[in-house]
């Protein structure tokens, strides 16, 4: 019979403590919503990381399979848990065949987990495949060591048959059932969250989708019924694809405060992994006490996005490449600007589920320029012909500027020029032409985009250079302009301005624009410093 909460003695050595804390109710009373995975190359490093992490999070997972000799770590773990009685720990020693790093046998894995329980780990995690391959007596022996049992299943390729896996795990009667799949689409997160909603009253279930597209489940899974979620101790120490750091989950996504009333917003595009919209918007929500969360939604298919919007539901979207034009046909109505430009970057979902579109890009291009020069009659070159370029061209034409379009695909430039009554421009004329403003509205120079320098220094002849790419702050184009002593407008100014207007459309509150700018600049500088550090 498993011990209950009242069985726990007031003063406990780790070995006494183990036998009394295996009830899920007691463990749930001790743990937070985030379990931080500790992976290290040596026992000393593992304890060092655990010490550092336990200052902020007292729920840890020791990934013993990352160690060459896991048994050598157990005396140190025992001492750590004795000294830090507030810590609740999971011991995991996942074998290679089930996605871990441990190269030993099932018997060797079980020996390590039994000894980890004796060292004070209140939970042990074994894989479903291991449980199914064990002899009955082996599982009983593990249970006799006193820990709560987590039986886990990991699928590193797909999200499918979650109910079938649940049915396979249930007969073992573990205290916790952990099912981890891989999201190939945004809709896979919906599949996981519906599964969690179905099973939340049947068992203590942990459910997560791995991968870039599974981030939604890591943030919203708790709301759907997952008992807790997993996080990395630090960036670069992830133990699963798409894992987020504990600090990001708690500070950016405010995971402890999410509830049924929390509104969900997101930035949709491909790619959006490096987008700073989540940090900017979540900061604004926190500052203005809005019960909302903002996520990165990466997909290549608009139908996948629309499923997520309908099912979660998503209350609003920031739309980036390549969907600014494609989204229009899925909207009930748009503001006149989106209609005129033929591109929309802001979507609101009404209570009846209908989608309405707005364009905040136009003002975010025009206003920074208006602060610096008279736009009427100004000679402006726009490079690109996508959604951002359309916003720039139509917005500047409206202000009376003479606009020229240069694009890698001349047909797209010609089409946009016809629609906006602008002119096209040939690359071979650049070196001998002066402009008041040159605007880059292509992804060239963007973090994570492999593109060559968009222009050569001799072709950059302008009074002002405006790069709509905001990440990094100093793009190759911005650096080239500064070398030629040409004043620049960085994409950060546009990015924050359009984001502030989106915030106001979604919430009806004034945007904390200075705070949004501060957090974006800080994040960009931090990234640049990390990358420079990695190079040296």
Instruction: Considering the candidates 78, 115, 154, 447, report the single residue annotated as catalytic.
Output: 154
135 belongs to the catalytic site? no
Q: Say if residue 218 carries a ligand binding annotation.
A: yes
- Give the C-alpha distances (Å, rounded to integers) separating 479 from 218, 369, 434, 436, 531: 38, 19, 19, 18, 17
Q: Is 233 part of any known ligand binding site?
A: no
Q: Is 136 a catalytic residue?
A: no
Residue 463 counted as an annotated binding residue: no
Distance, CA of 153 to CA of 168 (rounded, Å): 10
How many other C-beta atoms are found inside a 10 Å radius of the C-beta of residue 111?
17
218-221 LR contacts (CB < 8 Å, sep 24+): 218/242, 218/243, 218/244, 218/249, 219/244, 219/249, 219/253, 219/255, 219/258, 219/293, 219/295, 220/189, 220/193, 220/258, 220/264, 220/293, 220/295, 220/312, 221/192, 221/193, 221/196
**Main-chain dihedrals φ then ψ at residue 39, nearest 5 degrees:** -120, 135
| 424 annotated as a binding-site residue | no
Question: Could you give the CA distance from residue 3 to residue 5 in angstroms, rounded to a whole number?
Answer: 7
Other beta carbons less than 10 A from residue 9's beta carbon: 9
Does 288 count as an annotated binding residue? no
Enter the DSSP assignment of 147. P
Residue 311 labelled as part of a binding site: no
According to the annotation, is 94 in a ligand binding site?
Answer: yes
Query: CA 78, CA 74: separation in Å to the nearest integer?
Result: 6
Annotated binding-site residue? 108: no
Q: For tokens 């990381």, name the residue.
A: 49
How far does CA 86 lie from the centroid of its chain?
Answer: 30
- Separation CA 319–CA 333 (nearest Å): 16
Whether residue 398 is annotated as binding a ligand: the answer is no
The reply, when asked if residue 142 is annotated as ligand binding, is no
26 annotated ligand-binding residue: no
Distance of alpha carbon 83 from alpha carbon 201, whole angstroms? 35
Tokens 């020996």, located at residue: 111
Dist. CA 81–CA 426, nearest whole Å: 69
| Tokens 């797209």, located at residue | 412
Residue 372 is labelled as binding a ligand: no
- Residue 70 and residue 102 in contact, taking contact as beta carbons nearer than 8 Å: yes
481 annotated ligand binder: no
Q: Which of 324, 329, 399, 535 is catalytic?
A: 324
Is residue 470 annotated as involved in ligand binding?
yes
Can you read off the two tokens belonging to residue 77?
């773990």
Q: What are phi and psi of 274, to 5 degrees?
A: -95, 5
Contact at 8 Å (CB) between 348 and 315? Answer: yes
What does R_g of the chain's alpha carbons equal in angstroms?
A: 27
Q: Is 62 annotated as a binding residue?
A: yes
Please return the burial class of 270, using the count of CB atoms within 10 Å of its CB with bins 0-12, 13-18 and 19+.
middle
Is residue 307 annotated as involved in ligand binding? no
Is residue 134 a contact partner of residue 161, using CB atoms and an 8 Å limit? no
**Which among 115, 178, 447, 497 is annotated as catalytic?**
178
- The answer to whether 276 is annotated as binding is yes
Q: Residue 381's beta-bridge partner residues?
A: 404, 438
Q: How many CA atoms lie within 13 A of 53 on its CB side?
A: 32
- Compute the distance between CA of residue 284 and CA of residue 298 in angstroms, rounded to an integer: 22
Q: Is 429 annotated as a binding residue?
A: no
Catalytic residues: 154, 178, 324
Please state the residue numbers annotated as binding site for NADP(+): 384-388, 468, 491
Please state the residue numbers annotated as binding site: 61-63, 94, 218, 239, 243, 275-277, 320, 345, 361, 384-388, 468, 470, 491, 498
Please state the residue numbers annotated as binding site for shikimate: 275-277, 320, 345, 361, 470, 498
Please state the residue numbers annotated as binding site for 3-dehydroquinate: 61-63, 94, 218, 239, 243
């Amino acid at each position: 019979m498993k011990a209950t909460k009242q069985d726990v003695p007031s003063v406990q050595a780790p070995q006494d403590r183990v036998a009394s804390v295996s009830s899920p109710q007691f463990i749930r009373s001790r743990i937070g919503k985030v379990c931080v995975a500790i992976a290290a190359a040596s026992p000393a490093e593992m304890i060092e990381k655990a010490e550092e992490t336990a200052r902020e999070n007292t729920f840890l997972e020791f990934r013993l399979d990352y160690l060459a000799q896991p048994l050598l770590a157990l005396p140190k773990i025992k001492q750590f848990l004795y000294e830090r009685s507030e810590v609740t720990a999971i011991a995991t020693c996942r074998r290679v065949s089930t996605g871990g790093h441990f190269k030993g046998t099932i018997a060797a894995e079980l020996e390590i987990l039994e000894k980890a329980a004796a060292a004070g780990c209140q939970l042990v995690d074994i894989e479903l495949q291991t449980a199914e391959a064990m002899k009955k007596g082996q599982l009983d022996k593990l249970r006799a060591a006193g820990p709560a049992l987590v039986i886990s299943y990991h699928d590193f390729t797909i999200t499918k048959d979650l109910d079938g896996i649940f049915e396979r795990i249930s007969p073992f009667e573990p205290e916790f059932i952990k099912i981890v799949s891989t999201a190939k689409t945004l809709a896979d997160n919906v599949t996981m969250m519906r599964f969690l909603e179905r099973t939340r009253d049947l068992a203590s279930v942990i459910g997560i989708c791995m991968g870039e597209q599974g981030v939604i489940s890591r943030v919203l899974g708790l709301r759907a019924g997952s008992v807790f979620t997993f996080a990395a101790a630090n960036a670069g120490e992830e133990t699963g694809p798409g894992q987020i750091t504990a600090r990001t989950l708690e500070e950016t996504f405010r995971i402890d405060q999410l509830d049924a009333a929390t509104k969900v917003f997101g930035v949709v595009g491909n790619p959006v992994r490096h987008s700073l919209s989540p940090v900017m918007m979540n900061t604004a929500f926190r500052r203005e006490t809005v019960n909302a969360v903002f996520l990165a939604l990466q997909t290549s298919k608009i139908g996948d996005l629309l499923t997520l919007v309908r099912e979660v539901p998503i209350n609003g979207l920031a739309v980036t490449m390549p969907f600014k034009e494609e989204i229009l046909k899925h909207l009930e109505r748009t503001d006149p600007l989106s209609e005129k430009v033929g591109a929309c970057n802001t979507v609101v979902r009404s209570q009846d589920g209908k989608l309405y579109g707005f364009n905040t890009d136009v003002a975010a291009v025009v206003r920074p320029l208006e602060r610096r020069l008279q736009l009427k009659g100004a000679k402006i070159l726009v490079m690109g012909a996508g959604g951002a370029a359309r916003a720039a061209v139509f917005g500047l034409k409206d202000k009376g500027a003479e606009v020229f379009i240069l694009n890698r695909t001349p047909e797209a430039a010609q089409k946009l020029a016809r629609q906006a009554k602008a002119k096209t421009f040939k690359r071979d004329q650049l070196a001998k032409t002066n402009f008041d403003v040159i605007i880059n509205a292509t992804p060239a120079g963007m973090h994570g985009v492999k593109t060559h320098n968009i222009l050569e220094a001799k072709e950059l002849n302008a009074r002002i250079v405006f790069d709509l790419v905001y990440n990094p702050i100093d793009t190759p184009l911005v650096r080239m302009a500064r070398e030629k002593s040409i004043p620049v407008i960085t994409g950060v100014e546009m990015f924050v301005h359009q984001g502030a207007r989106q915030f106001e459309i979604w919430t009806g509150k004034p945007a904390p624009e200075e705070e949004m700018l501060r957090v974006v600049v800080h994040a960009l500088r931090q990234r640049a410093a990390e990358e420079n550090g990695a190079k040296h």
